[in-house]
Amino acid sequence: MAALRQLGTAVEGNFQGAAGGMVPPSPCVLAPNGSAPRSPAASRREEVAGNGGGGPGLAALRPTPAKPPRGSGKKPFAAPAGGGKPRKRAPLWPAALFVSVAMNVGLVLHHYVNSTSPPHHHHHPQEHQACLVHPEAAGSSSVRRTATQVEPVPKTRAAGAPSTGKPAVTPESVINLDHGDPTMFEEFWRGTGAAAEIVIPGWQTMSYFSDVGNVCWFLEPGLDHEVRRLHRLVGNAAVDGYHVLVGTGSTQLFMAALYALSPPAGAPMSVVSTAPYYSSYPAVTDFLQSGFFRWAGDASSFEGDTYIELVCSPNNPDGTIREAVLSSESGVAVHDLAYYWPQYTPITRRADHDIMLFTVSKSTGHAGTRIGWALVKDRDVAKKMTKFIELNTIGVSKDSQLRAAKVLRAVSDAYELPGAGEEHRLFDYGRRKMAERWSMLREAAAASGIFSLPDETSGYCNFTKDMASTNPAFAWLRCDREDVEDCASFLRGHKILTRSGSQFGADPRYVRVSMLDRDDAYDIFVKRLASLK
């Protein structure tokens, strides 16, 4: 710093020309017209200097004249003896600007040396006055950078670790089981190695289009193939004669179905579902206050012939197998089969409804991939649903589709390829895990004495070829204590977050509890539940 102050003092006179003007700046400081664009750092320095040589930034750089000591009788810039005019002195701001630039150059070069040069290499003082070329632009005069424009090359850092979702819990933590976040499956996928890994080259998936000859023109052919393959393997849905549509989760496909099935004119289409219904149905239906459709409540009490009935089976929140309860020539049904997979329920038949919705969130646990798909019979309905997604998001992420396809392929390969280990079979793992968790929950509820759960059911599973119990992804828990009218509030007081039955069109003494969280959170939950009396 002392050397720089001396430098500023020494060059102050050099900035003054014969008439007190400023010497043209070095090309290493100001780039001529037509040269490479200035760096953000250089632009900021120009803003400080002000536009056109004026402005508040320039004034801030001008030094304030020092006041003479009291009693000296001298005034700053006093005229010389003899009454002559004082010698005109150039302003000090050019020197201050030069010193500021020199200091910045010194700092930049210091960082540059430390970050790019070997330990034994040293810059010589005269190098600080030369124009520098960024290492990546060496040998190219068109991209030559000046000393003040050199951007430090950051040291190589390891790629940031991906997010892990909710933080780890302790026995004192609030346990959040309000959402169906399927992190239970992380343990399984950690053990699959490279089977579900994918590398996407930088040039791939750049176009909007995937298959222009398909109704769903943004559907990746690989995902189409793996969706059909998996359904044929499990036997839970027919795929021959169906159009496969892809969406950003099944929620977007649900919205697309409402759009496609509603009349373009007239009164809004009534959307209904039998209570307890999925809590997002009314919220999503009425979110945009569409003139095409509106939420009309419980299907069991609906009166009318024109409607869209949402049938969730197995049902969210109570896990029951559902069928449509309404029948009309002008009414239609959309079947949400997100949980119709062997880890949750026996596969008793191959569903063949007009519109069926699925998602990787609950089938494989990859909720963050945000991929769902619909199986649609009618071509015109499929085209309208595709149009909605086109207008809504101009398609669906191809990167997510490719990952989902690889995940689904890994699931099918584990069952179909010879030599595949049983430890890599997703549905076997999920079935064991869910049965274990439901057993723990029933024991905890019995130990507490103030909670009740739906009765366990079972049936013959066409996929596993044996009897299988129903182990829903959510527990429909009821608080039987007489002084508790709101079970969600009661559990919240004990640091357990659930979703109230009132959000499902049901009694608030019920709550929905996610069964899909990580082991540490679930273990704390059942212990805490068992202790409540």
pLDDT digits (tens, 9 = 90+) for 112-164: 334 433 333 333 433 333 333 333 333 333 333 333 444 444 444 455 677 77
pLDDT of residue 159: 55
- What is the C-alpha separation between 196 and 407, in angstroms, rounded? 5
DSSP states along 177-188: -SS---GGGHHH
* Residue 485 C-beta-side C-alpha neighbours within 13 Å: 0
- Tokens (6 digits) for 340: 């119709």
pLDDT of residue 98: 57
User: Would you list the domain boundaries of the chain?
Assistant: 2-64+87-182+435-531, 221-415
What is the band of 421 on the pLDDT scale with cuts at 50, 70, 90?
confident
Identify the three-state secondary structure at position 443.
Answer: helix
What is the band of 420 on the pLDDT scale with cuts at 50, 70, 90?
confident
- Section 505-520 average pLDDT: 98
**Cβ-contact 335, 261 below 8 angstroms:** no
Query: Which residue matches tokens 């007009």?
Result: 354
Amino acid present at 41 = A
For residues 320-358, b (16+ Cβ closer than 10 Å) or e, as one string? bebebebeeeebbbbbbbbbbbbbbbbbbeebebbbbbb
- Tokens (6 digits) for 153: 């090359």
Q: What's the Cα-to-Cα distance from 480 to each of 366, 451, 499, rounded to whole Å?
A: 35, 6, 17
Query: Which residue matches tokens 């499902």?
Result: 504
Amino acid present at 139 = G
How deeply is 515 buried, as exposed, middle or buried, from its count of CB atoms within 10 A (0-12, 13-18, 19+)?
A: buried
CATH class given for the domain over 221-415: alpha beta
Amino acid present at 444 = A
pTM value? 0.71
Give me the count of residues in the chain: 533
- Tokens (6 digits) for 287: 């979110």
pLDDT of residue 167: 85
- Tokens (6 digits) for 475: 């527990």
pLDDT of residue 391: 97
pLDDT of residue 106: 54
| Residue 464 pLDDT greater than 60, yes or no | yes
- What is the C-alpha separation between 435 and 345, in angstroms, rounded? 11
**Cβ-contact 525, 177 below 8 angstroms:** yes
Task: State pLDDT tens for residues 21-35.
Answer: 433 444 333 344 444
**Cβ-contact 29, 129 below 8 angstroms:** no
- Tokens (6 digits) for 4: 């720089």
- What is the C-alpha separation between 273 and 17, in angstroms, rounded? 87
Contacts 24+ apart (CB under 8 A), 51-60: 58/93
Could you tell me the CATH superfamily of domain 2-64+87-182+435-531? Aspartate Aminotransferase, domain 1 (3.90.1150.10)
Which is nearest to 312 in space by CA: 259, 250, 256?
250
- Section 378-384 average pLDDT: 98
- Give the residue with greater pLDDT, 94 vs 423: 423
Which is nearest to 405 in space by CA: 183, 221, 168?
221
Among 67-76, 239-248, 252-261, 452-461, name the one with the lowest average pLDDT. Answer: 67-76
- Section 171-177 average pLDDT: 97
- What is the C-alpha separation between 211 and 222, in angstroms, rounded? 11
Beta carbons within 8 Å of 183's beta carbon, 6+ residues apart: 165, 166, 365, 516, 517, 518
Beta strands in 129-169 (DSSP E): none
- For strand 293-298 and strand 458-461, is the pairing parallel, antiparallel, or unpaired? unpaired
Residues in a beta bridge with 269: 293
Mean pLDDT comparison of 116-120, 158-162, 190-194, 517-521, highest-scoring range: 517-521
